[in-house]
Structure 1
Amino acid sequence: MRADELLQTHTHWHGNTVLLRLTGELDLATAPLMHRAATTALARRPQTLYLDLTGLTFCDGTGLRALNHLTHQTHTTHTNLHLTGLHPNLHRTLDLLKTTSPWTPPTPPP
């Protein structure tokens, strides 16, 4: 399977806020897709980036590193990052890794 068959990214803009939805698997093969979508969105300098993980079905160590890298990207661009739709197991893993600051999000825009 191709990476774009394993992970789909959907970007929606609402003024100065971007919602990036991931659907599928976030792993070694697909992390570059998320990185590309996030980098493209951040190039427009949004005030806030919501990353919706409701449709995420799998996340390995590379996916965790990609999420961690995204926190650094948003910090560098002075963009607020909020994750939504975290599966309890992924939330627990992120909590154990002490990377939970952006993982407690408010409700995303419609």
Structure 2
Amino acid sequence: MHKPVEAARLFAALADPTRLALLVILRSGPPRSIARLSANSGMTRQAVTKHLRILEDAALVLVARTGRETHYSYRPGALDTARTALDAIAGNWTAIAPSTEG
């Protein structure tokens, strides 16, 4: 399993509904700028930027700077890390769960 700190950062990033919505948007299309992501979200650019930084720190998005703009995109395979961590946790739970047999 990945280091617990890395897994915790990943799951914390995924635990927020706003960040999940941003991730879905980024996964479903081309890279987008902060201005474009904030345009119809009802959030300020600063709020969107804060959420995107958390997604970046959790290695869920890619960042490309073009001139004065920063574009964000979904990192292919980013959720594979979450799957791996969950599989490891599930294995650990199976090993320590009390037996239901009689």
TM-score by length of 2: 0.30
Report 1 or 2 for greater relative contact order, CA contacts < 8 Å, sequence distance ≥ 6: 2
- Richer in strand (by share): 1
- Richer in helix (by share): 2
Q: Which has the larger radius of gyration?
A: 2
